[in-house]
Chain A
């Protein structure tokens, strides 16, 4: 690079006075501003807060019996007998069930997504830093596990153990870490060869310092962004497992399971058993994807040179 290409940076360099006078803002602040400028990200965040609020705070104000079946009040249409979203085939109030199911979906999704990210980050980081044969071996393990389609793996495990909420978290978390592992390893490899790490080594710094001060802080953004996508995926996996009959057994509920139960009602015209849980899943997955996109911008844009 002998001269900066003009086409690449049409704007002239900022006035030095300009740089000195502009308000000093921390990186997290700048990132926050960028995130807030992304309308979709705010929509995603709003959606998440709304859905989480509905599921976790809703039951405080809207009391329903989600334990005992009420065979006298099955398949009530929305609005009938004070059930805003009607009732299902065993007489549970659908709105109350939606809240309860949402709790499971959100808790499992968040916990499994975070678990997967944590395991993957550690695995990938170790492989990337240690390098050599350890790296090769660790990454072949990842390759092998990745070539087993994840849903097959989850179902296999769900068939072995009786699923409960903690078990679902462990199952999904234990096999969804492969993506983050690859990502973090790649990140570690690039960061390790960055010139600022070399500069630090030239001052006599150790490898430990490189990891602590340079590599972790720079990789953290990627990891956080990835975690949000992991949560979205985990929520979908919970839904798939429940749909395939391997979710948490009743009277516990989750959105995937509710959809699965509603399947029998496809032709009976009981639409309120199908659409609310289906739309809820779509909304929460979209919300996390929007948040992830916004975070990615926030982590990247603030470092881009003008």
Chain B
């Protein structure tokens, strides 16, 4: 690597005329260390990147890959103990590391802007919006109070805030998550920076809001002529938005290329594996019954000295050379650090898979354990209602109204079936799950387990029925007593239900561990000693202990990285096949539900708006909300995102305290008419929809049943 501080000049291909354009930002061999109580984590090791003016660079990686540390190193915002220990950060030709602190601060405030992941905590809770947004102007440009306010209103208008002249006087907690993220963007842009760094800007938001925010960043980039670094774990988000992508793994950039090129022909084995691990890929290329490719093992511990390719221990194509040789990034436009890259020239012409929307009616593959609807459903939910009283605290509790969390929801789950429940946060899907496992009592309606109404059972009988249905949590760590060893955790359900004696329980626990692929050594350990994926396995083992017929998974893989997520999803499927389990799979992630579920129910504001076979719901949605949801899901097929012209919903989710009458979606629906003020029934045969104006008729029932594709 050259030691000169002369900025590297890259031929800007897109310009076509061969003029030399200087990169706006160039990282050269950046090393960042973070000193912790026990040892030092080498978070970044020789990271080199460049960002051209006006382009969007996507930085993608799993947790611990160093993508956020890269962003924070550029901004000089490393956490306590963090320090850039080597390399250069050239911004507009000047090395930020050698500039005086004041100068760096000014550069950070005026020429750069940053948007963080969590909009709920990223704004100062006790400062008015207007003041926070205008603060950089007042500090860096000496703008007066009145003008600052005006410019705050102006920038808020440009990021699409409704009534910005009122919002400036509000406090952050008075706004929704999406609105707060707009405020954060406005704050980052108020000085018209040349570079915007967005660190997981939409991860904490719902998909429909995510789409709005990503589009906003795109629009603003053009309007302001700035460059954007989009840091994310989500390949789909990158695919739709970035010009170029850098893939990071274990503190290094392992591959960088133009977006289309990278997704068409990834060269590094890690990038390849990551894409194969996506449920979306599996569904598109091999159908729903295909197993996901799951990367074995975990990323390396960065506080230890590492040699060779860092992905080698998990790689399918590893050779001895990989373990001993440090591989540098190759040259050229498509750079990768791999000794055994994926073949560079795609065999045959480049065939981008067809966009997934509006595929012809799919083949209904016969699942091994698929009992026809004549059998008694494991779970039958009928007219389920759950209201929470919303009241003030203290002595004078006046009822301030009711939060309608679940409103008249009915569905059935057949033995061995996976029923997916999707919807955005606050739609009531988790409440349905908690009601189904008996953690909460319904306000009205029936829950039948194997045809038995739970409400009719007294304490002990009721507890016995609980064996049939178990809950799997999103955060397995929180769902395990930190002071209990794994053996005690796994024995607990058996003890509660008084199954077998000590020896029998031990035998059962051993077989459970085998089923979820964990070694017996884990028994003596405590939950905090495990990684997320391992914990999810232990959680699954515990759910299985009582041999339930149904497992309700509440966002069971949402906290996991893609590669780990694939491991858990595969495991869940294997167990379903072996044990004939039924799942209620609750998730906000449509692509995961699409992969896992046989049938899908879509919820909006406490209502089930659409129920049907998974493929039909995802590929031939009948409810406008479902369509909007599908359209908002980012896909790694760049053209798929571009080609979508479907329904975009605007505005904010109404409060469940006083939900709209009639169809609850009508306040945001592009198709809403007067009749929508009356409630549409959930109508249809196999593919039901609750809409007065369904987008399309139900797919031909005969063809679907005989299993022939059009």
Which A residues fall within an 8 A CB radius of B?
1-7, 9-16, 18-20, 22, 24, 27, 194-196, 198-206, 209, 213-214, 217-218, 303-306
Contacts and interface: CB of A to CB of B under 8 A. Distances in A.
A200 to B, nearest CB: 6
Contact of B478 (A4, A24, A196): A196
B483 A217 contact: yes
Contacts of B72: 7
B481 interface: yes
Contacts of A201: 439
B466 A204 contact: yes
B654 interface: no
Given A5-B118, A13-B532, 19 more contacts: A3-B200, A3-B203, A3-B559, A3-B561, A6-B64, A9-B64, A10-B41, A10-B43, A10-B64, A12-B41, A15-B298, A27-B526, A198-B439, A201-B439, A202-B437, A203-B496, A217-B481, A303-B528, A304-B528
Residue among A22, A202, A205 with max Cβ neighbours from chain B (10 Å): A202
A51 to B, nearest CB: 31
B67 A6 contact: yes
A14 B497 contact: no
A3 B475 CA distance: 11
A272 to B, nearest CB: 45
B483 A203 contact: no
Contact of B559 (A1, A198, A303): A1
B667 interface: no
Contacts of A19: 525, 529-531, 534
B694 interface: no
A202 B464 CA distance: 11
Given A2-B204, A11-B303, A12-B64, A306 B492 contact: no
16 contacts: A4-B63, A6-B65, A9-B64, A13-B532, A14-B301, A15-B301, A16-B531, A196-B480, A198-B439, A198-B479, A202-B466, A204-B466, A205-B463, A214-B481, A217-B481, A303-B482
Contact of B519 (A12, A20, A200): A20
B76 interface: no
A5 B117 contact: yes
B524 interface: yes
B646 interface: no
A16 B496 contact: no
B270 interface: no
A196 B486 CA distance: 13
A11 B532 CA distance: 14
B93 interface: no
A227 to B, nearest CB: 19
A303 B481 CA distance: 10
Nearest to B36: A11
Given A198-B439, A213-B492, A303-B483, A13 B64 contact: yes
B473 interface: yes
A204 B482 contact: no
Given A11-B36, A12-B299, A16-B534, A204 B528 contact: no
B418 interface: no
B467 interface: yes
A202 B553 CA distance: 13
A251 to B, nearest CB: 49
Given A16-B298, A202-B466, A11 B479 contact: no
B271 to A, nearest CB: 18
A11 B64 contact: yes
Interface centre among B471, B484, B529, B559 (most CB of A within 10 A): B529
A213 B542 CA distance: 16
A12 B298 contact: yes
Contact of B497 (A9, A194, A204): A204
B651 interface: no
